C-alpha cells in the first residue's frame, strides 16, 4: 500500500518516489504527498517529473495519480513529485474551517453533516436541520471565526475503530461510517473539535483567516446548505 506522506507532513511540497504500477485508473507509487479525492475534499494536483497530475483518486484503499494528456510513466521509474502548494494550502484552510463550523453547529443544534464539498475557492456543508434561523446561523459563523482566531493547534493520531465509534462526537456524519479499517485517523483541533478524518489540515487555526458566508439554502425539509469562503 502506498505510504501516505501527506499524513506525516501536510506541508510537504515535494517528494521522491518510485512507480509501482501503471493501471487504467492511474499511476500507483510506493509513497506520495498527493492527497487523493475523498470525504468531500478535492484532490491535489501538480507534477510527477514532467507529467501533469490532474487528479488523485482512491480505489480499494490504494492511491492512483491520473496524468494529463499523453503523459506516461513506467513501473520502476523514479519520480519527483511537486504539489500545487497554493491550491493545497487553500484546501487545508477550508477543510479545518469545515471541521470548526460543523463542531459549532453540532454543539449548538445537534445537527450532523449530510454532505460537503471542500474546494480551494468556495466550499459547502449540508446540515441535518429542520428549523432554520438565518440570524442564529450568523451567530454560529461568528463563533467559528472566534474559534479560528484563537490559534488552536491541530494534530492527528490513530485510535482503534471500535473505541473511536463509541466516543461521542468523533463521528459527525449522518448515515455514514468511516472506512472499515482497524484503526481510524483522528484529527483534534484544540478543544474545538475532535473527529475521525483522513484529509489534510493546517497546523494552527490562525492560518485560516476570516470565514465568510456566501449563501445559505434550504435543500429539503431537513437539510440546510451553507456556502462559505475565506479571506486571507
pLDDT digits 0-9 by tens, 123-147: 999 999 887 788 888 999 999 999 9
- pLDDT, residue 118, reads 98
User: In DSSP terms, which residues pair with 159 in a beta bridge?
Assistant: 184
Same domain, yes or no, for 32 and 119?
no
Same domain, yes or no, for 138 and 220?
yes
Q: Is the pTM of this model over 0.85?
A: yes
Domain stops at, among 54, 83, 112: 83
Residues of the chain predicted below pLDDT 70: 169-180
- pLDDT, residue 71, reads 85
Domain stops at, among 52, 68, 83: 83
* Cα separation, 220 vs 217, whole angstroms: 9
Q: Are 83 and 47 in contact (CB under 8 A)?
A: no
Same domain, yes or no, for 44 and 122?
no
**Given CA atoms 55, 37, 152, 179 in this order, what sign does their dihedral have?**
negative
| End-to-end CA separation in angstroms for the chain | 37
Structural domain including 23 reads 3-83
Domain stops at, among 83, 106, 124: 83
Same domain, yes or no, for 115 and 221?
yes
| Cβ atoms < 10 Å from Cβ of 128 | 18
Q: ∠ CA 31-183-22 to the nearest 5 degrees?
A: 25
**Given CA atoms 93, 42, 119, 165 in this order, what sign does their dihedral have?**
negative
User: In DSSP terms, which residues pair with 183 in a beta bridge?
Assistant: 160
Same domain, yes or no, for 16 and 108?
no
Count of the separate structural domains present in the chain: 2
Q: What is the 3-state secondary structure (H, E, C) of 162-216?
A: HHHHCCCCCCCECCCCCCCCCEEEEEEECCCEEEECCCCCCCEHHHCCEEEEEEE
Same domain, yes or no, for 116 and 225?
yes
139 Cβ neighbours under 8 A, 6+ residues apart: none
Same domain, yes or no, for 76 and 102?
no
Same domain, yes or no, for 132 and 52?
no
- pLDDT, residue 178, reads 57
Same domain, yes or no, for 62 and 107?
no
Same domain, yes or no, for 78 and 153?
no
Amino acid at each position: 500500500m502506498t505510504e501516505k506522506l501527506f499524513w506525516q507532513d501536510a506541508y510537504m511540497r515535494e517528494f521522491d518516489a518510485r512507480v509501482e504500477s501503471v493501471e487504467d485508473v492511474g499511476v500507483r507509487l510506493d509513497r506520495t504527498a498527493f492527497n487523493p479525492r475523498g470525504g468531500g475534499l478535492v484532490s491535489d494536483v501538480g507534477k510527477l517529473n514532467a507529467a501533469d497530475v490532474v487528479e488523485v483518486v482512491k480505489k480499494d484503499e490504494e492511491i492512483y495519480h491520473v496524468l494529463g494528456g499523453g503523459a506516461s510513466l513506467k513501473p520502476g521509474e523514479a519520480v519527483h513529485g511537486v504539489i500545487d502548494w497554493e491550491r493545497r494550502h487553500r484546501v487545508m484552510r477550508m477543510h479545518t474551517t469545515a471541521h470548526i463550523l460543523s463542531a459549532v453547529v453540532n454543539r449548538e443544534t445537534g445537527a450532523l453533516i449530510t454532505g460537503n464539498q471542500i474546494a480551494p475557492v468556495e466550499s459547502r456543508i449540508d446540515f441535518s436541520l429542520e428549523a432554520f434561523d438565518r440570524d442564529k446561523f450568523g451567530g454560529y459563523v461568528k463563533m467559528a471565526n472566534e474559534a479560528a482566531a484563537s490559534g488552536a493547534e491541530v494534530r492527528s493520531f490513530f485510535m482503534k475503530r471500535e473505541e473511536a465509534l463509541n466516543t461521542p462526537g468523533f463521528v459527525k456524519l449522518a448515515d455514514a461510517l468511516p472506512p472499515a479499517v482497524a484503526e481510524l485517523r483522528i484529527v483534534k483541533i484544540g478543544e474545538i473539535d475532535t473527529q475521525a478524518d483522513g484529509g489534510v489540515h493546517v497546523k494552527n487555526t490562525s492560518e485560516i483567516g476570516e470565514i465568510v458566508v456566501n449563501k445559505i439554502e434550504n435543500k429539503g425539509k431537513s437539510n440546510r446548505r451553507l456556502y462559505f469562503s475565506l479571506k486571507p
